[in-house]
């Protein structure tokens, strides 16, 4: 992807055939991001997505994967508080 000109890589925690009521495969997401991070050729931001419904989910997955960012879809509709920073956060 990078050699083809990708400026970023986005990875979702579901695979083809998974339905939205089934939780995203966080374990697989963690493995994929870590593998990409170990490749010397991947020097673009890696963004993850998949059932990140709370700020704690986001913090945990950023820590566990080492990803550069996250994307939100349904969680942004269900929990607009995700966009509010608390007093103890930067």
Higher pLDDT, 61 or 25: 61
Reported confidence tier of residue 90, pLDDT bands at 50, 70, 90 = low
Using alpha carbons, select from 38, 21, 31, 24 the residue that is nearest to residue 71. Answer: 24
Tell me how far apart the alpha carbons of residues 74 and 50 are, in angstroms, rounded to a whole number: 9
Q: Which pTM does this prediction carry?
A: 0.78
pLDDT (tens digit, 9 = 90+) per residue, 34-64?
988 888 777 889 999 888 888 888 899 999 9
Using alpha carbons, select from 77, 6, 82, 17 the residue that is nearest to residue 25. Answer: 17
Query: Which neighbouring-strand residues pair with 48?
Result: 11, 70
């Amino acid at each position: 992807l990078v050699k083809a000109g990708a400026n970023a890589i986005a990875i979702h925690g579901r695979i083809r055939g998974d339905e939205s009521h089934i939780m995203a495969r966080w374990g697989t997401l963690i493995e994929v991001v870590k593998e990409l991070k170990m490749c010397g050729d991947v020097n673009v931001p890696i963004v993850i997505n998949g059932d990140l419904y709370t700020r704690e989910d986001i913090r945990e997955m950023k820590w566990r994967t080492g990803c550069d960012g996250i994307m939100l879809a349904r969680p942004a509709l269900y929990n607009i508080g995700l966009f509010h920073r608390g007093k103890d956060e930067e």
